[in-house]
Amino acid sequence: MDGNGRWANLKGKKRIFGHEKGANTVKNITIHASKKNIGYLTLYAFSTENWKRPKVEIDFLMKLLDNYLKKELPTYLKHNVKFNIIGDISKFSSKLQKRVSQTIEKTKHCTGLTQCLAINYGSKDEIKRAVEKICKNKEKISIETIEKNLDTKDMPPVDILIRTGGKQRLSNFLLWQCSYSELFFTNTLWPDFSTEELDGIIRKFKTIKRNFGGI
């Protein structure tokens, strides 16, 4: 979800204004994806590299996430959306960890879309943690054992990866899971990303013949 800060700068406002608008886009896209019967929507909210940002911005993002989960719980329940996370949340405050756990618990019965937030997530860190679990359990390292120890062990492979904001790189996001995903890059900054643009990407995806290494 790239482009919140640049979106705010273009409007002569502080970066935090862009993050607030981006959170509203998250809500709109989540509701729309739920109505389109999409199974999983994974959103890259905070990476393992984002700790390099100014402390004031990090603190704001943590507060924004806490407030978002508190405010939008009724939205999750209304639209039958199950909430989940990937990443290592042990670095977050006990208050935020509790909020995350509560939201997971209160939506676990939902059977529609699963909205998964990637928070303090980095694909390299995820794979490292998976290998550490395998070694701890004295299992043989294989594709199967790695996959069953990833944060996404209960999720299907990624079909579509969308990056907003004009950059054409993966930035340490779901590197393992995107092995055969279709990649879409758009110049649209995340706060301006619309349900119409998402629908257009899905229509294009449906025209693609996917061989998964075959013919």
Burial tier of 139 (Cβ tally within 10 Å: 0-12, 13-18, 19+): middle
Task: Find the mean pLDDT for residues 193-201.
Answer: 98
Are residues 1 and 45 in contact, defined by beta-carbon separation less than 8 angstroms? yes
- Reported as a single tens digit per residue, the pLDDT across 56-68 is 999 999 999 999 9
CA dist 209 and 126 (Å) reads 30
2 is catalytic: yes
CA dist 57 and 16 (Å) reads 7
Pairing of strands 82-86, 114-121: parallel
- pLDDT band at 98, cuts 50/70/90? very high
CA dist 205 and 171 (Å) reads 22
Write out the DSSP string of the chain: ---HHHHHHHTT--HHHHHHHHHHHHHHHHHHHHHTT-SEEEEEEEETTGGGS-HHHHHHHHHHHHHHHHHHHHHHHHTTPEEEEES-GGGS-HHHHHHHHHHHHHHTT--S-EEEEEEEE-HHHHHHHHHHHHHHTTPPP-HHHHHTTSTTTTSPPPSEEEE-SS--S-TTSSTTTTTTPEEEE-SS-GGG--HHHHHHHHHHHTT----TT--
Are residues 34 and 163 in contact, defined by beta-carbon separation less than 8 angstroms? no
Q: What is the pLDDT of residue 163?
A: 98
Identify the residue whose tokens are 């199974």: 39
Q: And the tokens for 134? A: 């395998």
CATH superfamily of 4-203: Decaprenyl diphosphate synthase-like (3.40.1180.10)
Set 2, 84, 149, 151: catalytic member: 2
Share of the chain above pLDDT 70, in %: 100
Query: Listing from the earlier edge strand, what are the strands of the sheet with 114-121?
Result: 40-47, 114-121, 82-86
Q: State pTM to two decimals.
A: 0.93
9 is catalytic: no
Set 4, 24, 28, 50: catalytic member: 50
**Mean pLDDT score of the chain:** 96
Q: Is the pLDDT of residue 127 over 90?
A: yes
